[in-house]
Structure 1
Amino acid sequence: TGAEPIAPRDGRRALRTAGRVALQNRKTEQAHVVLGMPGLARTDERRWALGVLNTALGGGMSSRLFQEVREKRGLAYSVYSYTSGFADCGLFGVYAGCRPSQVHDVLRICRDELGHVAEHGLSDDEIDRAIGQLRGSTVLGLEDTGALMNRIGKSELCWGEHLSVDDMLARMAAVTPDEVREVARDILGQRPSLSVIGPLKDKQAARLHDAVA
């Protein structure tokens, strides 16, 4: 098509921070917890491996975080991971919605899982399942006209090329376990920042500052 990805507006680079804690005391029924760390820019070729990692770690009911936090322990109403890619930087995040009294337990388990995957990686079976899930959801997305148009427009604006569904499926299938483990070390091995919204007690708030130390 001859299109080029949209470049950053100026020469400024994204501000990267680690270990920051932002708390907002609000009278809500549940606490909203987000762990975040630098991810990958939208044109980084490692984004395919990161997509597999994200799916295996927090992309569905069979994911690590869902199984450990919700299925086995019943500590959260919702838990998942997500990624966002921008022109020169990216974000990898983990969200959990839980009872305010269980914020610390949820954080501990999430951080334990992130640390374990950063150090030891995912199993080949987990990676295979994640690739299959990604490929399946991509094909199912063809049934929604709005989602299809959004994907085409995003391809032109963000990547400067329109990848066919077959191209995307091939790139997903080509991701290797070593690539997933490498990106897991690079991304999950970083010190995260933390944001929590909910009815937090003073002692809870004080402890949360130590949760990402």
Structure 2
Amino acid sequence: MYNKFILDNGLRVVSEYIPHVKSVSIGIWIETGSRQENIGNSGVSHFIEHMLFKGTDNRTAKKIAESIDNIGGQLNAFTSKECTCFYAKVLDNHLPIAVDVLADMLFNSRFSQEDIEKEKSVVIEEINMYDDSPEDQVHDLLSKTIFDSHPLALPILGDLKSVKGLTKEKILNYFTEKYIPENIVISMVGNFDVEESRKLLNDYFGHWQGNKKNQELESPPVLTQNLKFKDKETEQLHLCLGLEGISQGDEDLYSLLVLNNVFGGSMSSSLFQKVREDRGLVYSIFSYPSSYKDTGIFTIYAGLNPNQLLNVTELIIDDIHQIKNNYLTDDQLTKSKEQLKGNYILGLESTSSRMTSLGKSELLYGKIHSPKEIIDKIDKVNLADIKRVTNKVFDLDKLNVAYVGKVKDEKQTNKKLNNICFK
């Protein structure tokens, strides 16, 4: 059963009580990510995520880790394009400890100059490690290709220049502006007493008063059509094709998920079977949707030998044409919906995944759907929905191409790719 309440300071709390488990997952969700940044402070959201683990007025970095390790729990965090989350998973009787640690990190982190300089080195190594992974790089390159000058194009980690340029003043100004009660959701899933947990959270977070500064309205991106290439000395070439997708909260997202299963979202999908299994042209190929508050992208990825770049691209474009001409059969629709429901239900067995779904839904579009509602939405997808979404998403006039690797003649390769993709 879901429960939602709002503290007097505007902080939202959403929870789900599950009596048959012995754990609780709790997350503090902040609506700040690379989307809220600019070129001058790119990577600051992710950097603040790191800094909150570096020590507080009450605990050293080691003590923060030990506080949760000593009770057999898990403590972690992540930053995405639109949000940052600090979360813990503990046995149900240790919930007060988890809340105490998370609140301490949020309110009492030191942000010392020494720690900032140390952590810059750590994040720079993380960026360097990321740069060594062309499979990751190509997805960032696709974001830059599609979103162009919009903040959604910025990398979550930032870049070497922006991270080196982060001053204590810049970091604290951003922290003070974004880390305010109205910008935060606490989500909690597992075995806990609803009234006791409400009092617990109110004791720790109810006193908090942010600056209540008016948040800048984020402008929706205008998707462009481009081709970008990054030269990198690799044996394998990494290719991404990107199309306009569906935004979060849009009912068509369920239709796109059903469509994706058939097109490229599984080992039995059309792309995987035709390009990898039947022809052996790639090691890896798949597609997936990414959804944001007011837009979305649909990505097709392939890892391949550079000599097969044009062949594989032609096959992908051909598969897009085929699915636009034929859509899905009744049998494909039924099987895909069952597959999607099965994956979703299996994911619900984890309190962590339920906490993530709950927190992200409330934070980004203020709405929570029960598992039954989501299953019903999947069940209601019909062939007319699939046809509408297929025509919307597989619009080749909005196709973008990004690839990372080594090619013999960049100019000629780009020209041929343009002819294949941008007819």
Larger mean CA deviation between 117-126 and 28-37 belongs to: 117-126
- Aligned twin of 2:289: 83
Distance 2:238 2:216 in 1: 32
Asked whether 1:209 is paired with 2:415, we answer no
Deviation of residue 116 (structure 1)? Answer: 1.5
In structure 2, C-alpha distance between the alignment counterparts of 1:60 and 1:123, rounded to whole Å: 17
1:38 aligns with 2:247: no
Find the partner of 1:197 among 398, 404, 414.
404
Indicate which of 294, 297, 301 corresponds to 1:95. Answer: 301
- In structure 2, the CA distance between the partners of 1:109 and 1:9, relative to structure 1 (3 Å rule), is farther
Shift in Å, 1:9: 4.6
Structure 1: distance between partners of 2:216 and 2:238: 32
Distance in 2, matches of 1:45 and 1:83, equals 14
- The higher radius of gyration belongs to 2
Shift of 1:16: 1.2
What is the Cα deviation at residue 206 of structure 1? 3.6
Deviation for aligned residue 1:40 = 1.4
State the distance in 2 between where 1:59 and 1:129 align: 13
What is the DSSP-based 3-state SS (H/G/I as helix, E as strand, rest coil) of the residue aligned with 1:155? Answer: helix
Structure 2: gaps (5+ residues): 6-11, 13-30, 32-81, 83-214
Cα distance, 1:70 vs structure 2: 0.7
2:217 to 4, 10, 22: 10
Q: Separation in 1 of the partners of 2:231 and 2:415?
A: 13
One-letter amino acid of the counterpart of residue 79, structure 1: I
Kindly provide the amino acid, as one letter, of the partner of residue 133 in structure 1: Q
Partner deviation per Cα, 1:134-154 (whole Å, 9 max, x = no partner): 100001102233222111112
Of 142, 151, 155 in structure 1, the residue corresponding to residue 361 of structure 2 is 155
Cα gap change, 1:145 to 1:182, in 2 (>3 Å): same
Q: Percent identity?
A: 32
Q: Would you say how many aligned residue pairs link Structure 1 and Structure 2?
A: 210
Give the 3-state SS of the residue equivalent to 1:200 in structure 2. coil
Preserved CA contact (<8 Å) 1:118 1:189: no
CA distance in 2, matches of 1:72, 1:95: 18
For 2:248, what is the secondary structure of its paired residue? coil
Q: TM-score, normalised by structure 2?
A: 0.47
Q: Provide the C-alpha distance between the structure 2 equivalents of 1:148 and 1:159, rounded to a whole number of angstroms.
A: 16
Aligned pairs for 1:1-213 within 5 A: 1=4, 9-10=216-217, 12-18=219-225, 20-191=226-397, 192-202=399-409, 203-213=412-422
How far apart in 2 are the matches of 1:9 and 1:21? Answer: 31
Moved over 3 A (4+): 6-9
Q: Is residue 65–residue 113 contact of structure 1 (8 Å, CA) maintained in 2? A: yes
Tell whether the 8 Å contact from 2:293 to 2:365 is kept in structure 1 after alignment. Answer: no
SS in structure 2 of the partner of residue 209 of structure 1: helix
Q: 1:9 to 1:134 in 2, by over 3 A?
A: farther
Amino acid at match of 1:138: Y
- Name the aligned partner's letter for residue 66 of structure 1: F
